[in-house]
Structure 1
Amino acid sequence: MSRTRSVATAATATVRDRRAFLAATGAVSLSAGIGLALRPGAGEAAADSAAVQGHAAVAMSREAPAPPLAPYTRGTTLASVAAPRTSSGFRRLGDGPAWQRVVRTDLAAAKSGREGRRTALASFVQFTDLHLVDVQHPLRYEYLRTQTSSAWRPQESLSVAGAVSLVERVNALRGAPVTGSPLHFVMTTGDNTDNNAKTELDWFLKVMSGGRITPNSGDPRRYEGVQNSGLKLYWQPDEAIRDSDKQLGFPQIDGFLAAAVRELRSPGLNLPWYSTVGNHDSLPGGCYAPGDSFFAEFAVGGKKLMELDEAVGAAIWKNVKNGGDPKGAAFRDMLKSEARRMRSVTPDEGRAPFTPTEYLQAHLDPAHTGAGPIGHGYSQANLAAKTQYYAFRIADDLIGVSLDTTDPGGHYEGSIGTAQLRWLERTLKEADKNKEHVIVFSHHTSKTMRNLREDPDHPGESRHGGDELVDVLAGHRSTLAWVNGHSHKNDITPHSASGNQSFWEISTASHIDFPQLARVIEVVDNHDGTVSLFTTLIESAAPHRTDFSDLSQTGLAALYRELSFNTPGARTDLSGEAGDRNVELVLKKG
């Protein structure tokens, strides 16, 4: 730990050491790394290292609160968590008991007195699986609701309001809950969008960087979708129809759909933010290989399927789960065969799928810079190389790595190609050499990287799964943690290795399914041969209690949470166990 200086103690450094000086004043210099997979050769390591050694300051984090404010609990799940206050029917939420912090010593002992010795190295926030949904998109398969609750959720039309409220929560935090150090950045770990649609990408970037958002597509005057279809399969909020959800106690809320597609305003994060890509960002439906012209034309067209025979739906969903239709051929054939049952909707070119290049270009657009950095981790080098992975400097001697774990061959599980794996190995090797630490970010977890289909754009290149990636990360002393999402569940896994090469895998629940969370992560040096990673879960700023007559932006965000809690068939284990929530994760790092 000799080379690692904390944010708190770096103030004693000279101004000539620019990064340390900026860290001391709450302005950590972050430089976007490149995702360029260089050809094998002697110059690779130096070129890759240069990507994270640059000194260009791109943004400033907020100043740390005064020391008496740390540690604090307000605004976190250490103070209160949304919980049901009624026991039957449509259950109303209120302020529930807090989740206490748990110390996990799976990988190293927690030595006494560390509270007085520790210094903060970095603090940041993880968003994951925001799933900003264009609920009127023709390519959505809501009719599979009888097969899986994830096909359609009653709260989805409020996803933008919910995400804006999460931004408001982060903006209101006074610093890191344990150390009080500045929050340096926010990282999204994929599935920022839901349907690989340009509408959703625009909404996501404005949520994060600020702007006015109208979460509507098609007819600008009204909602056109399953929730005013008259079909009992879906909650019809504005109608007295006794649909399947109202039979379970869901309310009738006059004006709900008009409010859901009304303009919202996001203040944007007041922190720098970085982006990681997920399968729903890259693949139609989150599971089909991109590039099919039929899907692209259907997405912007004027027809939408809203109901499907049970047996046909069961076969489609079985194919999705098993990865039996990665290119969507059976799904395409089904849509063609059901043409007569489709309903007319207003066509909209804005619903077109975005390509990886367009995803990068949108992040690099100055209109979406917000609090920075330009590109939010992505660079012109990514555009040139057609890659979506990169490295960036978090603080002195601490590097972040964002991976692209989506398999372009199709299916919702992931993997990475050989070129990306070799680039990661070089980055970790260089960090080992420089006695730096690394935190890796990705969308998929180690348990959901089992899809080794060939990337159509890189024929002959091998794909590598989660077990192999764990071995690579555990082969380097620099690895501290692997932070990811995808599973929509809080889950923290220790990965043990010899020679102080163990690391923690931190998976965080989504912000679309209850309990709708994000996670603050603090890295501290205990000055006893160990590092601690403190994780603290946060909810959006919306109140736990709802009022069905309050259709304001804040009221909708509160409804977003309560509707998600009541979603029929939704999993009830996504909060994880106590050891997956608010924790101190101790790690031996000499």
Structure 2
Amino acid sequence: MSRTGHVASGPDRRTVLAALGTAGVSAGISAALGPGGRRADAAPARPRRILRVADPAPSPAGTTLESVAIPTGSGSYRRITDGPGWPRVVRQELAAAKEGREDRRSTLAAFVQFTDLHLVDVQHPLRYEYVRPQTGSAWRPQEALTVAGAVSLVERVNRLSGAPATGEPVSFVMTTGDNTDNNSRAELDWYLSVMSGGRITPDTGDPRRYEGVQNGGSDLYWQADSDQRDADKRLGFPRIHGYLDAAIRTVVSPGLNVPWYSTVGNHDSLPGGCWAPGDPFFADFAVGGRKLEALPEAEGAALWRAVEKGLDPKGEQFKEVLRANARKMRTVTPDPRRAPFTPHEYLRAHLDPRYTGAGPVGHGYTADHLEDGRMYYTFPVAEGVIGVSLDTTDPGGHYQGSVGTAQLRWLERALARHRDDRVLVFSHHTSTSMKNPRPDPSRPGEKRHTGDELLALLTNHGNVLAWINGHSHRNEIRAHGGLWEISTASHIDFPQLARVFELVDNGDGTLSLFTTLIESAAPHRTDVTDLSQTGLAALYRELSLNDPAARDDLAGGPADRNTELLLKQR
């Protein structure tokens, strides 16, 4: 039976701690990677331990312990206001919480997870917005503001005075995939620039104007700048003069002020997040001058049914839809930046010095990965704590995931090599969304393995503490054997969250893994006339709340949000 309880969201009192400092972690990362980012999966250097003379000052400020965006009003279009924070829940399925642990704790690691940023080129010709009646993921009213929203999330991390349960400085950020939306080179540049810092103009095609579904006159989409009474305006969406011009205006990111790592997702690797890569038809269409913006509902339903059930992994049905509707397409400005990127290009971009930011070089990937095309790796989290980043996308197509035998055997060796370390595993897909055994076209003889098989491997190694992932766009925390599986909501769908993790040794034979959700730095309340960068980030959240297809279960329950997850010391 699950044993849960509430603890105060305020700061813990602790004695003098021996804990890791951010500088020590960074030094260990640099040593592990070596010059030029080489030595893939080398044994990480041990960061220097720093004796703290005084306690850090844990604080709920800037987290959902303090306040959460909530809807206000009774109309169909709701505004957002400041709501009460979510309490912390103690979960004891894997170990019992012992009294006095707050006074014995020493902090082992503190870091942040971003997931499912979905930085979207909303003008991309391969987008299938016209199946919106079948799935809300095809088009969202807030999508034109993904870059401004992601920059505001970076700003939130930079403003944290320390991790909320321990006060420990955050030492890194890990993304767990779907960093981009359309497997587009332009989106990859935007993602890397958001994370590392720089100027981003979220616009492709004609640099003078927007060319997408929000000024095409279709009733199916929110025509934000016009007086047209489209379906969304009939639900209360506002008319915002200058919205589209503001949406494609240059945004400036300060970049994260801590190192960051990258994990790949299906939208990063597959066109549309679901079709096998490498098709020249899709590559040509992506950079071309035609865009389909409407489709009869029956055709859209058939297309989405094939995608949802994995019946069209190579996109043959999708190609036929595009060919059959060629005369109904809108003319747009061709742009080579919309070309799909290959795994080699994805890795090379991460290694580009322009995107190093706070480091490390390659953000987990190294020159050795570039040589063999491998997109999984290990990295040092802290002294005695190792991170493992997996690639769970199936190159054979479909949005559900799996891993090949070569990766599974590599993981077995990595876990054995680090048997004396504590291990945190990161991936895009969850255990329940890895049900795709379709062979990798480049490895036709290799078996693919499901989430159940991966979970069995992880639970068989007592040093694995947690499997941290995304993909579902929903907060969910589950106990498996001796580890926790922690899935975090996306930053595109409401409530637009990321998660802070803190691993501590309780000094009593148990560990605690604290999880605390954070929102972007944008204010909860919006002003639709404020089209500044901050104003757009706030509007991004409000629009996501009001998306007619928005689900109301993505925040999860209290035990899936701000938690203390107990584990037995191994």
- 2:464 counterpart letter in structure 1: T
**In structure 2, distance between residues paired with 1:124 and 1:357:** 28
Aligned match for 1:481, one of 459, 466, 472? 466
**In structure 2, distance between residues paired with 1:61 and 1:75:** 28
Pair 1:371–1:23, CA change in 2 (3 A): closer
Instruction: Say if 2:45 is the partner of 1:55.
Output: yes
Per-residue CA deviations over 1:33-69 (Å, capped at 9, x if unaligned) read 79xxxxxxxxxxxx99x93424398xx9999997362
Per-residue CA deviations over 1:153-186 (Å, capped at 9, x if unaligned) read 0000000000000000000001111111121100
In structure 2, the partner of 1:38 is none
Instruction: Say if 2:519 is the partner of 1:539.
Output: yes
In structure 2, the partner of 1:30 is 29
**In structure 1, distance between residues paired with 2:348 and 2:114:** 21
**In structure 1, distance between residues paired with 2:438 and 2:168:** 43
Instruction: Say if 2:461 is the partner of 1:471.
Output: no
In structure 2, the partner of 1:523 is 503
Deviation at 1:569, TM superposition (A): 1.7
Pair 1:33–1:287, CA change in 2 (3 A): farther
Aligned match for 1:182, one of 169, 188, 209? 169
Deviation at 1:453, TM superposition (A): 0.4
Deviation at 1:471, TM superposition (A): 0.5
In structure 1, the partner of 2:55 is 67
Aligned match for 1:450, one of 414, 435, 438? 435
- 1:381 counterpart letter in structure 2: D
Per-residue CA deviations over 1:383-434 (Å, capped at 9, x if unaligned) read 11111000001111100000000000000000000010001011111111xx
Question: Gaps spanning 5+ residues in structure 2: where?
Answer: 1-13
- 1:360 counterpart letter in structure 2: L
SS at the partner of 2:400?
A: coil
Per-residue CA deviations over 1:235-292 (Å, capped at 9, x if unaligned) read 0000000000000000000000000000010000000000000000000000000010
Pair 1:62–1:442, CA change in 2 (3 A): farther
Per-residue CA deviations over 1:128-163 (Å, capped at 9, x if unaligned) read 000000000000000000001110000000000000
In structure 1, the partner of 2:528 is 548
**Counterpart contact for 2:128–2:138, Cα < 8 Å:** yes
**In structure 1, distance between residues paired with 2:183 and 2:94:** 39
Deviation at 1:89, TM superposition (A): 2.1
Pair 1:488–1:212, CA change in 2 (3 A): same
Question: Gaps spanning 5+ residues in structure 1: where?
Answer: 1-5, 12-19, 35-46, 497-501
**Counterpart contact for 1:28–1:61, Cα < 8 Å:** no
Pair 1:586–1:103, CA change in 2 (3 A): same
Instruction: Say if 2:191 is the partner of 1:211.
Output: no
Alignment of 1:133-532 (within 5 A): 133-432=120-419, 435-496=420-481, 502-532=482-512
**Counterpart contact for 2:18–2:51, Cα < 8 Å:** no
Q: When the two structures are aligned, how many residues end up with a matched partner?
A: 553
**Counterpart contact for 1:282–1:356, Cα < 8 Å:** yes
**In structure 1, distance between residues paired with 2:50 and 2:256:** 11
**In structure 2, distance between residues paired with 1:323 and 1:448:** 13
Pair 1:33–1:227, CA change in 2 (3 A): farther
In structure 2, the partner of 1:558 is 538
**Counterpart contact for 1:104–1:586, Cα < 8 Å:** yes
SS at the partner of 2:295?
A: coil
**In structure 1, distance between residues paired with 2:15 and 2:209:** 50
**Counterpart contact for 1:440–1:481, Cα < 8 Å:** yes
Pair 1:145–1:397, CA change in 2 (3 A): same
- 1:517 counterpart letter in structure 2: L
**Counterpart contact for 1:33–1:378, Cα < 8 Å:** no
**In structure 1, distance between residues paired with 2:540 and 2:32:** 36
- 2:170 counterpart letter in structure 1: L
In structure 2, the partner of 1:14 is none
**In structure 1, distance between residues paired with 2:421 and 2:49:** 21
**Counterpart contact for 2:18–2:49, Cα < 8 Å:** no
- 2:547 counterpart letter in structure 1: T
Stretch deviating more after TM superposition (485-494 or 82-91)? 82-91
Instruction: Say if 2:97 is the partner of 1:110.
Output: yes
In structure 2, the partner of 1:39 is none
SS at the partner of 1:516?
A: coil
**In structure 1, distance between residues paired with 2:15 and 2:395:** 40
SS at the partner of 1:439?
A: strand
Stretch deviating more after TM superposition (125-134 or 103-112)? 103-112
SS at the partner of 1:428?
A: helix
- 2:411 counterpart letter in structure 1: L
Deviation at 1:194, TM superposition (A): 0.1
**Counterpart contact for 1:23–1:395, Cα < 8 Å:** no
**In structure 2, distance between residues paired with 1:450 and 1:7:** 47
**In structure 1, distance between residues paired with 2:371 and 2:516:** 38
Per-residue CA deviations over 1:424-468 (Å, capped at 9, x if unaligned) read 011111111xx2100000000000000010000111001001000
**In structure 1, distance between residues paired with 2:84 and 2:298:** 43
- 2:433 counterpart letter in structure 1: T
Alignment of 1:84-123 (within 5 A): 84-123=71-110
- 2:211 counterpart letter in structure 1: E
SS at the partner of 2:465?
A: strand
Pair 1:396–1:315, CA change in 2 (3 A): same
**Counterpart contact for 2:17–2:55, Cα < 8 Å:** no
SS at the partner of 1:521?
A: strand
Aligned match for 2:554, one of 574, 581, 585? 574
RMSD: 2.2
SS at the partner of 2:496?
A: coil
SS at the partner of 2:173?
A: strand
> Percent identity, aligned pairs only?
66
Pair 1:471–1:68, CA change in 2 (3 A): closer
SS at the partner of 2:29?
A: coil
**Counterpart contact for 2:56–2:166, Cα < 8 Å:** no
Instruction: Say if 2:122 is the partner of 1:132.
Output: no
**Counterpart contact for 1:205–1:363, Cα < 8 Å:** yes
